[in-house]
A and B are shown apart, each in its own frame.
Chain A
Amino acid sequence: MSSGKEGLQVRGFFKKMDGFDLRADFEIPQGVRAVLLGKSGSGKTTLLRVLAGIEKADAGSVVLGGKEISQVSPKDRDIGVVFQEQALFPALDVMENATFGLRMRGVSRDERVALADPWLKRLGLHKQSFAAVTQLSGGERQRVAFIRALIWKPKLLLLDEPFSALDAELRQTLRLELLDLHKQWPVPVLLVTHDAEDAQALATVKFQIETSRAAEGREQRVVTQAFSS
């Protein structure tokens, strides 16, 4: 199925969770940064993992760049993901981590280094290009995770609580850096967080998870749009 539209469309999403059902119908156009707000355990990370292809939904379709991707394997979805714990690969150095997506797409080493250098410089990591990721601070690790998710120009960027483990000052800095990076590659973005400040700073569209009604004794939660700017 193809809608002929750019961006992300989620239609008739349904997933049975522990104790509730999660439903969603939304779209994120090209260049829009959507923030999904919700409490811990509300199902927002699950939604993100389903979009990334890591988990399966019970029903619904996901269309990205006009292409139905529900049945596409995660590695072929062209979606960049920033995980809550960064999930950097400890066996690889900063450069190798940052350019991993390019490497998987057959880009030569020289090209990868040439492509990554400006990104690393922009985020102040160029001096640590070949350092072990285990030697980086929390903020530096997060920067590497941002570059890794974006440098290969995915069609969608998903971020799972990317600032949750950082202090307020660093959080502010990284939000600005993320905005800056997004300008370089203005794909649709979906960021899930429980922090209203993240939403305030980053969102062009806000979603939230609301409890709507109980059906057959089960709680129903629905992703709804909070406002648009």
Chain B
Amino acid sequence: MKPSRVPANIGWVALALTLGFLTLSTFWPLAVLITRFLGSSQTVLTTFFDVFPVVRATLSQAMWSTAVSAVLGLGLGLWAGRLASVAQDKHSQKCVSKCISLGHFFLSIPYGVPTIVAATAWISWLGRHGYFAQIGIPLEISYRFQAVILAHVFFNAPWVAYWVSQARTEIPQEELDAAQSLGAGVLCRFRFVIFPRIKWTFFSATLQVFMLCVMSFALVLILGGGPPVQTLETALYSRMRYGSLDMPGAMACGLWQLLVTGVPWLALLWFQKKKALNPSRNSNESFRVAQASSRSLIQSAVFLWVAALFVIPYVAVFSGGKALSLLTARYLSEISLPLLISFKLALGTAAGACVVALLAVLAISFVQGRTSCASRASTLLGFVVSLPSSISVLVLGLGFWIAYADWIDPFEGSFVAMLILQVTLFMPVAFRVFWPIAQNTAHFRLSAAETLGASPLTAFRYVEFPRWRAPVLRVFAMIAAGALGEVAAVSLFYSEKLVPLPLVISRWMGQYRFEEAQALSAFLLAASVAVMAGVQILGGKNRDVIR
């Protein structure tokens, strides 16, 4: 094991801050909740097995959604990655590059689409008076298992495609050329060259999708048609929401979630460590890109359309053209404060999640270089950092409140609590993107800079930062957009003076203001896309997508 390049003082601080944050945001609230609410061990055990039908239903839905998303996402991602590689060819036309950049941007949009917007949009398509029914194709899949799968696939396949594409772009073209010159056809090139290079990114993105499906809430509630189509998250919600607070039942659902999502993640980290393969090209390799051809333009245009296909369903919320009606003084006065709160929260969450994830990366790199059992320690720490994404936000939020009841009262509203909770939820997403980048740090280049008189910070600034800049911006933009439409965390800590935009939608619906609520959904979607585009444009567009 190479000695860590993270200086001891920085390493210790990063480790302390990471563990401190996780303790305060996750472990302490969970511990308090468990000790306060869990009944006798017998009750827990009985309840644990009582929810098994829900576990089965969750797994069935999550596995189908994930499998279809993964297969579609893999195919699309490989194609997109190959095209992105072509776009780097200096002979490639500018419009090819533009098409591919825009296509990648489309692929990143679904992550930022609020689930309530997605559900409304799907009803507009699949519903009994939806667009398909109107053109004489009544799809009988609405309010059924198939509708949930379809909505999940449209949500998640672009996510897989996006990250696979990034990994595919990194494959040295010479390896592919070499394989081809040795007689390898498409399948063999995929099997021996491409897949080994992308597999951890692919598995990681797939697992992330699986987690999202297990934790799925609004889509299942609205599109599933009720039980038996449900998830552990909806079951957990029904145990905490109405009448009696069934905490053992909720904890049983939470525990199952942890098991179902945590165990595969731990396994992935474990195997990844054992069979680590530098996922990107060697740092000293000269990089030859795929050659642009006359077909590149057509292919990139087709890709753009395919990528747009994953965004088109959500455009349905703009139907009726009511979104613009919100731009009147009457509505603006009603939504301007929620909008401001939502933007502040989204940007704060994105910044917080990126900072904590970077600290975690630093801490793990530091641990890797110091302990005798570095591999196991860093696997464990990586798992611990990713753990919050396996815990229901409802459980976490409740624990948060009970643990910090003296300071935070959710019914009074707390921006700080919303922020910390959202940072906790989104941080693992950022961590999973940053960690592979950190593993490919070109230490010799940093050393080279230091021998030329650069301080570690300056060396990082000029040698490493250019490599980090694009992914950090990308993740920042995605998280900001995702946080803008996030409902669960904000619904735990809002107050009359602190109502973020997504809650205004449900509030309006409760007041018979359904058309206005749909207009606001469209507004929220536009805001999410604007945040995503804005961050990427401000941070120097294209550099992130087409390196």
Instruction: Report which A residues bind B (CB closer than 8 A).
Output: 18, 49, 52-56, 73-77, 79-81, 83-85, 87-92, 100-101, 104-105, 134, 148-149, 152
- B172 to A80, Cβ gap below 8 A? no
In the bound assembly, the distance between CA atoms of A84 and B197 in angstroms comes to 20
- A81 to B192, Cβ gap below 8 A? no
Interfacial chain B residues near A18, Cβ < 8 Å: 90
Known interface pairs A91-B277, A92-B192; A148-B182 also in contact (CB < 8 Å) = yes
Question: Which one of B174, B185, B286 lies within 8 Å of A75 (CB-CB)?
Answer: B185
Q: Tell me how far the C-beta of B522 lies from the nearest C-beta in chain A, rounded to whole angstroms.
A: 47
Interfacial chain B residues near A90, Cβ < 8 Å: 196-197, 277-278
In the bound assembly, the distance between CA atoms of A87 and B173 in angstroms comes to 9
In the bound assembly, the distance between CA atoms of A134 and B285 in angstroms comes to 13
In the bound assembly, the distance between CA atoms of A88 and B177 in angstroms comes to 11
- B183 to A104, Cβ gap below 8 A? yes
- B172 to A75, Cβ gap below 8 A? no
- A54 to B180, Cβ gap below 8 A? yes
In the bound assembly, the distance between CA atoms of A99 and B193 in angstroms comes to 15
- A79 to B184, Cβ gap below 8 A? no
In the bound assembly, the distance between CA atoms of A42 and B471 in angstroms comes to 36
Q: Tell me how far the C-beta of A161 lies from the nearest C-beta in chain B, rounded to whole angstroms.
A: 10
Q: Tell me how far the C-beta of A134 lies from the nearest C-beta in chain B, rounded to whole angstroms.
A: 7
Kindly list the 7 A-B residue pairs having the minimum CB-CB distance in the complex, ordered from nearest: A91-B196, A104-B183, A87-B178, A87-B174, A101-B182, A81-B181, A74-B180
- B181 to A53, Cβ gap below 8 A? yes
Interfacial chain A residues near B90, Cβ < 8 Å: 18
- B178 to A75, Cβ gap below 8 A? no
- B184 to A100, Cβ gap below 8 A? yes
In the bound assembly, the distance between CA atoms of A90 and B200 in angstroms comes to 14
Known interface pairs A90-B196, A91-B192; A84-B178 also in contact (CB < 8 Å) = no
Question: Which one of A85, A87, A91, A105 lies within 8 Å of B183 (CB-CB)?
Answer: A105
Interfacial chain A residues near B285, Cβ < 8 Å: 85
Question: Which one of A52, A55, A88 lies within 8 Å of B291 (CB-CB)?
Answer: A55
Interfacial chain B residues near A101, Cβ < 8 Å: 182-183
In the bound assembly, the distance between CA atoms of A92 and B193 in angstroms comes to 9
Q: Does B179 contact A (CB under 8 A)?
A: yes
Interfacial chain A residues near B181, Cβ < 8 Å: 52-54, 74-75, 77, 79-81
Q: Does B175 contact A (CB under 8 A)?
A: yes
- A100 to B192, Cβ gap below 8 A? yes
Interfacial chain A residues near B286, Cβ < 8 Å: 84-85
- Additional 9 contacts, C-beta under 8 A, given A53-B181, A73-B180, A79-B181: A18-B90, A74-B180, A85-B285, A90-B196, A90-B277, A100-B182, A104-B182, A148-B182, A152-B182
Interfacial chain B residues near A53, Cβ < 8 Å: 180-181
Interfacial chain A residues near B177, Cβ < 8 Å: 49, 52, 54, 74, 81, 83, 87
Interfacial chain A residues near B175, Cβ < 8 Å: 87-89
Q: Tell me how far the C-beta of B178 lies from the nearest C-beta in chain A, rounded to whole angstroms.
A: 4
Instruction: Report which B residues bind A (CB closer than 8 A).
Output: 90, 172, 174-175, 177-185, 188, 192-193, 195-197, 277-278, 282, 285-286, 291, 293
A75, A105, A149: most-surrounded residue (chain B CB, <10 A): A75
In the bound assembly, the distance between CA atoms of A74 and B195 in angstroms comes to 21
Interfacial chain A residues near B291, Cβ < 8 Å: 54-56
Question: Which one of B178, B188, B193 lies within 8 Å of A83 (CB-CB)?
Answer: B178
In the bound assembly, the distance between CA atoms of A18 and B278 in angstroms comes to 33
A74, A88, A101: most-surrounded residue (chain B CB, <10 A): A74
In the bound assembly, the distance between CA atoms of A174 and B188 in angstroms comes to 30
Interfacial chain A residues near B196, Cβ < 8 Å: 89-91
In the bound assembly, the distance between CA atoms of A54 and B277 in angstroms comes to 26
In the bound assembly, the distance between CA atoms of A85 and B180 in angstroms comes to 16
In the bound assembly, the distance between CA atoms of A87 and B180 in angstroms comes to 12
23 contacts between A and B (CB under 8 A): A18-B90, A53-B181, A54-B177, A55-B291, A56-B291, A74-B177, A74-B181, A76-B183, A81-B177, A81-B181, A85-B282, A87-B172, A87-B174, A87-B175, A88-B175, A89-B175, A89-B178, A100-B184, A100-B192, A101-B183, A104-B183, A104-B185, A148-B178
Question: Which of chain B's residues has its CB closest to A83's CB?
Answer: B174
Interfacial chain B residues near A73, Cβ < 8 Å: 180
Interfacial chain A residues near B277, Cβ < 8 Å: 90-91
Known interface pairs A18-B90, A55-B291, A84-B286; A89-B183 also in contact (CB < 8 Å) = no
Interfacial chain B residues near A76, Cβ < 8 Å: 183
Q: Tell me how far the C-beta of A65 lies from the nearest C-beta in chain B, rounded to whole angstroms.
A: 16
In the bound assembly, the distance between CA atoms of A52 and B181 in angstroms comes to 7
Q: Tell me how far the C-beta of B486 lies from the nearest C-beta in chain A, rounded to whole angstroms.
A: 39
In the bound assembly, the distance between CA atoms of A79 and B193 in angstroms comes to 19
- A85 to B179, Cβ gap below 8 A? no
Question: Which of chain A's residues has its CB closest to B281's CB?
Answer: A85
Question: Which of chain B's residues has its CB closest to A79's CB?
Answer: B181
In the bound assembly, the distance between CA atoms of A185 and B197 in angstroms comes to 33
Q: Tell me how far the C-beta of B545 lies from the nearest C-beta in chain A, rounded to whole angstroms.
A: 25
Question: Which of chain A's residues has its CB closest to B186's CB?
Answer: A75
Question: Which of chain B's residues has its CB closest to A84's CB?
Answer: B286
Q: Tell me how far the C-beta of A162 lies from the nearest C-beta in chain B, rounded to whole angstroms.
A: 13
In the bound assembly, the distance between CA atoms of A29 and B544 in angstroms comes to 49
- A81 to B178, Cβ gap below 8 A? yes
- B278 to A75, Cβ gap below 8 A? no
In the bound assembly, the distance between CA atoms of A74 and B277 in angstroms comes to 27
In the bound assembly, the distance between CA atoms of A88 and B172 in angstroms comes to 10
Question: Which of chain A's residues has its CB closest to B277's CB?
Answer: A90
- A91 to B182, Cβ gap below 8 A? no
Question: Which of chain A's residues has its CB closest to B184's CB?
Answer: A104
A77, A80, A91: most-surrounded residue (chain B CB, <10 A): A91
In the bound assembly, the distance between CA atoms of A90 and B179 in angstroms comes to 12
In the bound assembly, the distance between CA atoms of A101 and B193 in angstroms comes to 14
Interfacial chain A residues near B197, Cβ < 8 Å: 90-91
- A104 to B193, Cβ gap below 8 A? no
Interfacial chain B residues near A87, Cβ < 8 Å: 172, 174-175, 177-178
Question: Which of chain A's residues has its CB closest to B185's CB?
Answer: A75
Interfacial chain B residues near A88, Cβ < 8 Å: 175, 178
Q: Tell me how far the C-beta of A147 lies from the nearest C-beta in chain B, rounded to whole angstroms.
A: 12
Interfacial chain B residues near A80, Cβ < 8 Å: 181-182
B174, B195, B197: most-surrounded residue (chain A CB, <10 A): B174
A77, A100, A148: most-surrounded residue (chain B CB, <10 A): A100
In the bound assembly, the distance between CA atoms of A80 and B178 in angstroms comes to 9
Question: Which one of A52, A89, A134, A149 lies within 8 Å of B179 (CB-CB)?
Answer: A89
Q: Tell me how far the C-beta of B216 lies from the nearest C-beta in chain A, rounded to whole angstroms.
A: 34
A55, A85, A101, A104: most-surrounded residue (chain B CB, <10 A): A85
In the bound assembly, the distance between CA atoms of A73 and B286 in angstroms comes to 24
Q: Tell me how far the C-beta of B189 lies from the nearest C-beta in chain A, rounded to whole angstroms.
A: 9
In the bound assembly, the distance between CA atoms of A91 and B179 in angstroms comes to 13
Q: Tell me how far the C-beta of A82 lies from the nearest C-beta in chain B, rounded to whole angstroms.
A: 9
A81, A105, A148: most-surrounded residue (chain B CB, <10 A): A81
B182, B183, B197, B291: most-surrounded residue (chain A CB, <10 A): B182
In the bound assembly, the distance between CA atoms of A104 and B182 in angstroms comes to 7
Question: Which one of B174, B192, B278, B293 lies within 8 Å of A85 (CB-CB)?
Answer: B174
